[in-house]
Amino acid sequence: MFARLIVALASAAAAVGLMVFAGQPAAAAEPVTIPAAPAYEAPVLYGSSLDSYRWEPSKKFTVWHDPWASTYRIALQLKSGTSWKTVGSKAPGKQGKTTLGYKMAKEGTVHMRIAATEGGRTLASSPAQKVTWKRDRSDIHHRYSNYTKPFAEAEGKVAAGDQARHGVYVWTGRSARIGALQMHKNGQWVTVQKLVWKKKSSGTPPLAIAKTPKTQSNVTRKYRIVVNASAYEKGWTSKTGTVRHENPRSYTGYRKLSYDYMKKYCPNQIITVKKGGSASTAHSGSLRIEMAPGYQGSQHKAIALHECAHIITFRLYGNGLEAMDSRLNKIFKSSNGVEMVADCMAYRMGADPKAAVNWYTQDCKGSRGTAAKNILAGKKP
Ligand SMILES: [Zn+2]
């Protein structure tokens, strides 16, 4: 059979026998097939194609040859130093096509060739071809694209026993992925939560939510999120996020006064104090209250309760803040329903309507009062 085997380089002009094409297919392209070599006497092998993508460690080759039975085998050989080692071989397929596979053990480029072997001897071979396995980058997005550090949404602070959250989407079109939330402790990163992204081939990629451990003490911690490497994609590590776990029960001074006014209704409330100004703010994302400095007595109490009312409302509606706005605007027949209901809730919680505060409304009758009462009871009006 050896006499019938003609080996040639993979150029069209010289394609009179074995022709190998081992180029990598482009992403999402069909495997490239090489047209049969021009007829020439009785060629045995016509060509081959590499049918795997760069990011796949398992490489598949298709070899075309004459369909009739032979005593030789079709082999896949790997260059090792200066010699060639057979890593797989098969008797030629009856339909004139033989498939062979090789799984690369590590990323990189190796040299491979197709050969005809008989009794352990290589009768003929194709030119050497470079074969590469290179993992792609993981395709990862943060739940909120403007918050790229873990727990940035919490604006650096989490109340005792509460959990800050950070969502990460991971594309899993090729395989499921696993990862972890890690906390820095004693000089190393320790896993505190395992994260899983199931395989999903279309639509929005799966989302996993990392949650900070429930912590009672006042302590500052660093966190990061990791996605483990898969066979096809490299691993990923987020930026490091710093979180202050803070127990409002240990507040002192002005923060303690603010907390004491609202604690019956907002018992675990993160409060910070602005450097100046007179307007206080309740943040819907982080659920933090920023108090302006310098309030006194009934004014301080009224504003603390108004901001606390916002937090109660934000918690009740979660991610449905648009629905919250439209519902409250309808009830209050105003474009400021969320502020008006906070006033009505503050009065119910004990704020003095006569306090020195720029109230949004003093009218809390009828459906307005019912809305305030319902939100305080944890019911959407
Ligand atoms: Zn307000």
Is 17 exposed, middle or buried, given 0-12, 13-18 or 19+ CB atoms closer than 10 A?
A: buried
Question: Quick check: 245 and 218 in contact, CB under 8 A?
Answer: yes
Whether 119 and 152 map to the same domain: the answer is no
Whether 237 and 177 map to the same domain: the answer is yes
Domain assignment present for 32: yes
Where is the domain boundary, 86, 111, 133? 133
Between CA 17 and CA 24, with CA 21 as vertex, the angle to 5 degrees is 175
Instruction: For residue 282, report the distance from its CA to the centre of ligand 1, in Å.
Output: 7
Instruction: For residue 304, report the distance from its CA to the centre of ligand 1, in Å.
Output: 10
Q: What phi, psi does 284 have (nearest 5°)?
A: -70, -30
Instruction: For residue 351, report the distance from its CA to the centre of ligand 1, in Å.
Output: 14
Whether 310 and 262 map to the same domain: the answer is yes
Instruction: For residue 218, report the distance from its CA to the centre of ligand 1, in Å.
Output: 28
Instruction: For residue 165, report the distance from its CA to the centre of ligand 1, in Å.
Output: 24
Q: What phi, psi does 128 have (nearest 5°)?
A: -65, 140
Structural domain including 238 reads 140-246
Instruction: For residue 145, report the distance from its CA to the centre of ligand 1, in Å.
Output: 26
17 forms beta bridges with: none
Q: Which residue has the tokens 């079709």?
A: 74
Whether 363 and 287 map to the same domain: the answer is yes
**CATH number of the structural domain spanning residue 368:** 3.30.2010
Whether 291 and 265 map to the same domain: the answer is yes
Residue type, 246: E
Instruction: For residue 162, report the distance from its CA to the centre of ligand 1, in Å.
Output: 23
Q: How far apart are CA 97 and CA 134, in angstroms?
A: 28
CB within 8 A of 129, min separation 6: which ones? Answer: 20, 21, 22, 23, 50, 111, 112, 113
**CATH number of the structural domain spanning residue 233:** 2.60.40.10
Helices 337-349 & 367-376, crossing angle to 10 degrees?
70
The predicted structure's pLDDT at residue 280 = 97
Where is the domain boundary, 202, 217, 246? 246
Domain assignment present for 65: yes
Q: Is the dihedral of CA 250, 254, 257, 260 positive or negative?
A: negative
* CA torsion angle 262 264 268 272 (round to 10): 10
Q: What is the pLDDT of residues 193-214, one digit of tens each?
A: 999 999 999 999 999 999 999 9
Instruction: For residue 274, report the distance from its CA to the centre of ligand 1, in Å.
Output: 15
Protein residues placing their CB within 5 Å of the ion ligand 1: 339, 342
Domain assignment present for 227: yes
Whether 88 and 18 map to the same domain: the answer is yes
How many structural domains is the chain composed of?
A: 3
Instruction: For residue 280, report the distance from its CA to the centre of ligand 1, in Å.
Output: 8
Whether 286 and 363 map to the same domain: the answer is yes
Whether 48 and 111 map to the same domain: the answer is yes
Where is the domain boundary, 103, 133, 163? 133
Domain assignment present for 381: no
> Do you know the residue count of the chain?
381
Instruction: For residue 350, report the distance from its CA to the centre of ligand 1, in Å.
Output: 16
Assigned token pair, 120: 């352990």
Whether 340 and 350 map to the same domain: the answer is yes
The predicted structure's pLDDT at residue 43 = 40
Instruction: For residue 176, report the distance from its CA to the centre of ligand 1, in Å.
Output: 44
Average pLDDT by stretches of 10, the chain with 381 residues: 31 33 40 41 68 96 80 91 95 90 97 89 87 97 94 92 94 98 97 98 96 94 98 98 96 98 96 95 93 96 98 94 96 97 98 96 97 97 95
Model-level pTM greater than 0.85? no
Whether 372 and 252 map to the same domain: the answer is yes
Q: How far apart are CA 325 and CA 381, in angstroms?
A: 12
Instruction: For residue 253, report the distance from its CA to the centre of ligand 1, in Å.
Output: 23
Domain assignment present for 286: yes
